[in-house]
Amino acid sequence: MINVSHRSLEILLSPHISEKSTVLIEKLNTLVLKVVMNAKKIEIKKAVQQIFNVKVKNINIVLVKGKKKKSGKDVTFRKNWKKAYISLYPGHNLNIINNQE
């Protein structure tokens, strides 16, 4: 049984699947994940290494602004969210899209 802390499970929300993220996984061995807003790079690195048992090379973080949405006269905003680009060392693959390791 792998010892994974509760915080590690809270940090990673879901994979961000788009055309760009699929190309990054295939060509540059880089994952794109949605993470909680208060997560730090070191916490994200430890969480990915604990949960997926891979070796992380580098992490870049992007804060994505929520879009403005109009519904008649009402104007609302979607929530801001944080996206993490996680580069893995060669030989450490994690293909979330096809569910293969």
For 6-88, which CATH superfamily applies? RRM (RNA recognition motif) domain (3.30.70.330)
Question: What is the pLDDT at residue 100?
Answer: 46
Taking a C-beta distance cutoff of 8 angstroms, is the pair 33, 86 a contact? yes
Question: What is the pLDDT at residue 2?
Answer: 60
pTM for this predicted structure: 0.82
**Is residue 49 within a helix (H) or strand (E), and if so which, with residue range?**
helix 41-52
Question: Over the stretch 5-37, which tens digit does the pLDDT of each residue have?
Answer: 788 889 999 999 999 988 988 899 899 999 999
Question: What is the pLDDT at residue 96?
Answer: 56
Taking a C-beta distance cutoff of 8 angstroms, is the pair 79, 66 a contact? yes
Per-domain boundaries in the chain: 6-88
Separation between Cα atoms, residue 23 and residue 61, nearest integer Å: 18
